[in-house]
């Protein structure tokens, strides 16, 4: 009839689970259902020792449909996308891709975007790049620009208005 997580009184979000699996199938051709919890992903997870990310648990929670629990948690933002979990999974499940999908879902549902992501996003929206050109300091404290170093002018979107128009359309669409 129903399943309830008695530690949080949470219930599975079956529809969202289907949506994520569908998205993964589209983008990566991989879904989580086949995971048998060998935890090879977590044994080799670059973010586990420092930040306690447990990819196998993410997959298990997704299988159980407890999506809300994950998108409300900061833990999904600890993945450094090294892709070792995806590379080595014996069942071709890709926890890293599940995490990307969960983070997207968190953003889409209005959760706060952590850290510098907002600034990066804004920069891409306005000039097409993650950051603008910097003048940099050499080891002996001289400041140098691209021009000083004889590098050509940087490549950027030619018509920023059209570029921004395109990006804003994407923002309202779902994958």
Partner 1 sequence: MKYALYPGCVMPTEQYAYEMSIREVMPKLDVELVDLKGFSCCGEPIKSVNQMLTLTLSARNLAIAEKEGLDIFAPCPICHLALSECKRILDADPAMNERVNKFLEDEGLKYSGTSDIVSTIDLIHDKIGIEKIKKLVKKPLKDLKVATHNGCHLIRPSEIGRPDDSENPQKMDKILKAVGANPLDYPEKLDCCGGLLTANLPEAALTKTGQKLKGVQDQGFDAFIDTCPWCHRQYDSKQTKAGETVAAKLDVPVLYLTQILGLSFGISKDKLGLDLNLSPVEKLAVVGGK
Partner 2 sequence: MDNKIGVFVCHCGINIASTVNVKDLVDYAKTLDGVAVSKDYKYMCSDVGANLIKDSIKKNKLDGVVIACCSPRMHEHTFRGVVEAGGINAFNLEIANIREQCSWVHEDKYRATEKAKALVCGAVAKAKLLEPLEPSKIKVNPTALVIGGGIAGIQSALDLAEEGHKVYLVEKSPTIGGRMAQLDKTFPTLDCSSCILTPKMMEVANHSNVELLTYSEVTGVEGSIGNYTVKVNKKARYVDLDKCTGCGDCVEACRLKGRIISEFDEGLGKRSAVYIPFPQAVPLKCTIDKDTCLMLTRGKCGTGPLCVEACDAGAIDFKQKDEEVELNVGAIVVATGYDVLDPSAMHEYGYGRSDDVITTLGMERLINSSGPTSGEILRPSNGEKPKSITYILCVGSRDETECTWCCRIGCMSALKHVYLLKEKLGDDVEINVCYTDIRSFGKGYEEFYRKIRGMKTNFFRGRPSEVRNAGDHMTIDIFDTTTNKLFEIKTDLVVLVPALVPRADSDEFARILRISQSADGFYLEAHPKLRPMDTFTGGTFIAGCCQGPKDIQDSVAQASGAAARAANILSKKELESEPLISCVDEDLCSGCSTCIAICPYNAIELDTEKDGKSHAKVNEALCMGCGACVVSCPSGAMQQKGFKDKQIKPMIEETVKK
Positions in the binding site for partner 2 (CB under 8 A)? 34, 36-45, 48-49, 54, 56, 84, 88, 90-92
When the beta carbons of 1 and 170 are compared against partner 1, the nearer one is: 170
Looking from the CA of 158 toward its CB, the CA atoms found within 13 Å total 0
When the beta carbons of 38 and 130 are compared against partner 2, the nearer one is: 38
Residue ranges that bind partner 1, judged by CB under 8 A: 26-27, 46-47, 50-51, 77-78, 80-84, 86-87, 94, 100-101, 103-104, 107-108, 113-117, 120-121, 124, 128-134, 136, 138-140, 142, 144, 146, 149-152, 154-159, 162-163, 165-167, 169-171, 173-175
Q: Which does 72 bind (CB under 5 to 8 A by kind): partner 2, partner 1, none?
A: none
Number of Cβ within 10 Å of residue 19's Cβ equals 16
Cα 68 from Cα 47, distance rounded (Å): 22
């Amino acid at each position: 009839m129903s399943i309830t997580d008695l530690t949080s009184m949470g219930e599975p979000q079956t529809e969202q689970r289907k949506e994520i699996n569908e998205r993964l199938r589209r983008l990566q051709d991989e879904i989580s259902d086949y995971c048998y919890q060998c935890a090879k992903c977590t044994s080799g997870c670059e973010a586990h020792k420092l930040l306690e990310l447990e990819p196998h648990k993410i997959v298990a929670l997704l299988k159980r449909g407890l999506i809300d629990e994950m998108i409300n948690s900061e833990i999904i933002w600890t993945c450094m996308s090294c892709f070792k979990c995806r590379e080595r999974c014996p069942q071709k499940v890709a926890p890293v891709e599940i995490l990307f999908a969960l983070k997207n879902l968190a953003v889409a549902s209005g959760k706060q975007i952590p850290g510098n992501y907002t600034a990066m996003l804004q920069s891409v929206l306005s000039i097409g790049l993650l950051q603008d050109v910097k003048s940099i300091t050499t080891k002996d404290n001289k400041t140098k620009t691209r021009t000083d170093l004889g590098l050509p002018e940087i490549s950027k979107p030619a018509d920023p208005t059209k570029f921004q128009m395109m990006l804003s359309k994407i923002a309202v669409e779902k994958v």
